[in-house]
A and B are shown apart, each in its own frame.
Chain A
Amino acid sequence: MYNIYKYCFSLLIVCCVVTVLSAQENEVVNDSTKRKVVFNGVRLDLDVSPVLTTFLNKGESYSFETGIQAEFNRRLYPVIELGYGGAKKLTGSGITYKGDGLFYRAGMDFNLLKSKSENPIYNNLFLFGIRVGYTYFDYELQNISFVDDFWNTNLTKNLGLTSSSFWFEIAASVRVELIKNLYIGWTVRIKNMLSKPDPGAFKPWHIPGFGINGDTSVWGFNYTIGYKLLNNK
């Protein structure tokens, strides 16, 4: 099952990259109509929300990410996101958790905002889309202790582990063109893990790119500043 997820994710990445690097305009001749696939440019986004979210999380977890999104026909927006995240926390049971790593996401957004003009002055967007995320990272558990008052035993151990995770996201985004090619905006995501660990097995407290690894869905927020390259208005 893990290999199937890995190959599907790799195929999705390849599709997004090929789409971005392909020719600017292709004509597909139909029997009755001509449909044009128009490449409108590429936008590079930088997430600036860690300034606030790391403070609100009391430094227990942090995440930095960037993304590149292509635009086709002002309707389709394939996207690749890359980031680095981690966490350090003293948990309720006395175990200290430390872990960090890179994460990746690929997906597709659809613009729900219809422009009245063929060439609007400002290209504002309301996007709705999906993502598949992946990470492979190291983490440590320190001070795992077993105290037995009856048998008078006290056992303490530390562990170093690696983990990989796949997850699925649904995202809604707004992008506003402040001045020519400069965008600000936000993204709200709801994330769900695609696999669960075996009962009794160790699992990481925090997954880079996903968030705190609980039993329920996780919400995520980004506030981005972006610049559009290769703008083909």
Chain B
Amino acid sequence: MKRLPIIFILSIIFFSACKQDETCRESKEVFLRVGFFESVTNKAVSIDSLTVFALHQDGSAMDSLLYDNRKNMSNIILPLNKVEQASLFVMKLNDLPQDTLSVLYENVEYFISYPCGMIITHTLDTVWSTHHFIKDVNMVHKNINTTNVQHLQVLL
């Protein structure tokens, strides 16, 4: 019984040393994932040369390219604007006239943890495009979060 205070103090010190892990070990990347498919056979296709860039809300092109003449692309990832509820992307396929992909969505705050913080996820509302080389766009999954699933199918 006389050793009780010492045992207690040592126990507190020992268990206080077991701190919570403050390292974020979860993914925080949220992207719109788009796959390219042949419109007749519905099979995935690889595009010879693909260039993609985003447009500002006023319609002007952003300085940085998302994809610059990339080869053999069968799927791409696009970052959606977390402040606005619409994002526009221009796609150039080989030497064909470019098409514009328009995406309307809702921004949803998602709390991961205190080490990771919060992220913005999205719920797709409407998607459409111009039709120079794009035949159609299908919405496969509406919820855009850190899960690695394809959200849109672009039919060529």
* A residues in contact (CB < 8 Å) with B: 49, 52-53, 56-57, 91-95, 97, 124, 144-146, 148, 150-151, 153, 155, 174, 176, 184-186, 188, 200-203, 205, 212, 214, 219, 221, 223
Inter-chain contact B12/A53, CB cutoff 8 Å: yes
Interface string of B2-25 (1 = CB under 8 A from A): 001100110111011000101110
Q: How many Cβ-Cβ contacts under 8 Å join chain A to chain B?
A: 81
* B residues in contact (CB < 8 Å) with A: 1, 4-5, 8-9, 11-13, 15-16, 20, 22-24, 54, 64, 79, 81-83, 108-111, 114-121
Inter-chain contact B114/A91, CB cutoff 8 Å: yes
Inter-chain contact A92/B82, CB cutoff 8 Å: no
Inter-chain contact B81/A97, CB cutoff 8 Å: no
In the assembled complex, the CB of A43 is this many whole angstroms from the nearest CB of chain B, namely: 17
Residues of A within 8 A of B110 (CB): 200
Residues of B within 8 A of A53 (CB): 12, 16
Instruction: Choose among A146, A174, A176, A185 the residue with the greatest number of B CB atoms under 10 Å from its CB.
Output: A146
In the assembled complex, the CB of B29 is this many whole angstroms from the nearest CB of chain A, namely: 12
* Complex-state Cα separation, A222 to B110, whole angstroms: 36
Contact with A144, one of B12, B22, B117 (Cβ below 8 angstroms): B117
Inter-chain contact B114/A186, CB cutoff 8 Å: no
Inter-chain contact B64/A146, CB cutoff 8 Å: no
Residues of B within 8 A of A188 (CB): 11
Inter-chain contact A153/B12, CB cutoff 8 Å: no
Residues of B within 8 A of A185 (CB): 4
Residues of A within 8 A of B1 (CB): 124, 176
Residues of B within 8 A of A200 (CB): 108-111, 121
Inter-chain contact B82/A146, CB cutoff 8 Å: yes
Inter-chain contact A93/B115, CB cutoff 8 Å: yes
A93-B114, A93-B116, A212-B20 known; A148 and B82 CB under 8 Å?
yes
Inter-chain contact B79/A95, CB cutoff 8 Å: no
Instruction: Choose among B8, B109, B119, B121 the residue with the greatest number of A CB atoms under 10 Å from its CB.
Output: B8
Inter-chain contact A92/B22, CB cutoff 8 Å: yes
Residue on A nearest B115 in the bound complex, by CB: A92
Residues of B within 8 A of A94 (CB): 117
In the assembled complex, the CB of B116 is this many whole angstroms from the nearest CB of chain A, namely: 6
A93-B116, A205-B114, A223-B8 known; A151 and B24 CB under 8 Å?
no
Inter-chain contact B81/A151, CB cutoff 8 Å: yes
In the assembled complex, the CB of B111 is this many whole angstroms from the nearest CB of chain A, namely: 5
Inter-chain contact B117/A93, CB cutoff 8 Å: yes
In the assembled complex, the CB of B7 is this many whole angstroms from the nearest CB of chain A, namely: 8
* Complex-state Cα separation, A155 to B116, whole angstroms: 16
Listed A/B pairs (12) with beta-carbon separation below 8 Å = A91-B115, A91-B117, A92-B23, A93-B118, A144-B118, A148-B79, A151-B79, A155-B82, A188-B11, A200-B121, A205-B114, A221-B15
A95-B114, A153-B83, A212-B20 known; A146 and B15 CB under 8 Å?
no
* Complex-state Cα separation, A17 to B118, whole angstroms: 44
